[in-house]
Amino acid sequence: MKSLETVFNYAKTDYQRPQLLLGQRPGLFDTVNRHFPEIWALYKAQKSLDWDENEFDYSSCNADFKTCPRATYDMMIKTLAWQWEADSVASRAIAPVLAPFITASELWAAWQRISDNEVIHAATYSEIVRNSFDDPGVILDEILRVQEAHDRLAEVAGAFAAGYEASHKYALGQLANDQDTYNAVFMTIVALLCMERIQFMASFAVTFAICDTGLFQPIGKAIQKIAQDELEIHVELDRAVLKHELSTERGQTAFAQCRDRIEKMIEEVVDSELAWISYLFSEGRELVGMNAERLSAWTLYCAKDVYQLFGLSTEKYTLPAHNPLKFMEKWLNISKTQASPQEQDIAAYKVGVMRRTDENVVFDVDF
């Protein structure tokens, strides 16, 4: 029976008051007792936003890549390179890494659904490359050579790697359920928030600025769906988990013990973004309606949200009081860019929002 506890805890006694993380090992998947309605609602919302990476016809992007200015081509390729790499990491580093620590049914439902959603994101970037180039293998090699993209992901990837090691050791009984283990989980979630709230948002700004010129419209619509998932669901789940944990004794202890590490992580993520922006606009590359200063300000604006969540301030950066990229508002609100079906593929929709109420009803119809 002891071996079964790793997959089903028959001795579980905390159904009335489960913990999100590192509580008693899971038993029944429980929707009878709902202690985390916000997290359950985010799980349901992610289900309603379900979509497929092949919904968009990227054939026009083949011509766009062949005819657009070289600077635009380079910026799009380099941005896609990082987005593809980051979502490849995310698709393998959320549920698999966090699973041994999750002890609430609502959180497991949400993060496993988000992991599936990250697979769609990674597959979307792969399909964009497969369908937009005559020889996608050459572009794949080109993307993998962008060392600056790898460096940009280094800080978050390092935190995920530490979380991966801790989760596997904990699952094998090699780590105790103590504050050090809890801190490792906490820092992994902080890293996830930094990637999704700061890095992804900065990357989307480049894509949408390019698409605002009229180029790569199918890519813009697909990545708009990705941005909606990230901002409306993924970031909000990270925020909900961290806010709840910060209200607990363990979470408060983790924050006190890890505060310096959290400040350093946010700072290093921001620095990596600013370095990436400097590289992106180097070597003569330009982008209509965008420059390094505006993109840097947007990055700091996104970072402000993370600082505020933890009640932190920074003397190193001046955080903008207002959104410096107003055009992002229409891209991050899909309904504002809704086109007719004749113009382009439709991206603004939800699934599973209709419910039948006529089952087993006999209608008296006179034809």
Q: Which CATH architecture has domain 45-337?
A: Orthogonal Bundle (1.10)
Closest CA to 230 of 143, 332, 364: 332
Closest CA to 131 of 65, 50, 69: 65
CA-to-CA separations, 359 to 216, 355, 363, 365, in angstroms, rounded: 45, 10, 11, 16
Helix axis angle, 292-309 to 235-246, nearest 10°:
30
Domain range summary for the chain, segments of one domain joined by +: 45-337
* Predicted model pTM: 0.89
Both tokens assigned to 23? 């509580």
Alpha carbons 223 and 221: distance in angstroms, whole number: 6
Measured from the Cβ of residue 25, the count of other Cβ atoms closer than 10 Å reads 16
Alpha carbons 72 and 285: distance in angstroms, whole number: 7
pLDDT tens profile 137-192: 988 888 888 888 778 888 888 899 999 999 999 999 999 999 999 999 999 999 99
Residue 362 confidence class, pLDDT cut points 50, 70, 90: low
Tokens 């402000």, residue located: 304
Q: What is the pLDDT of residue 348?
A: 52
Residues for the chain: how many in total?
367
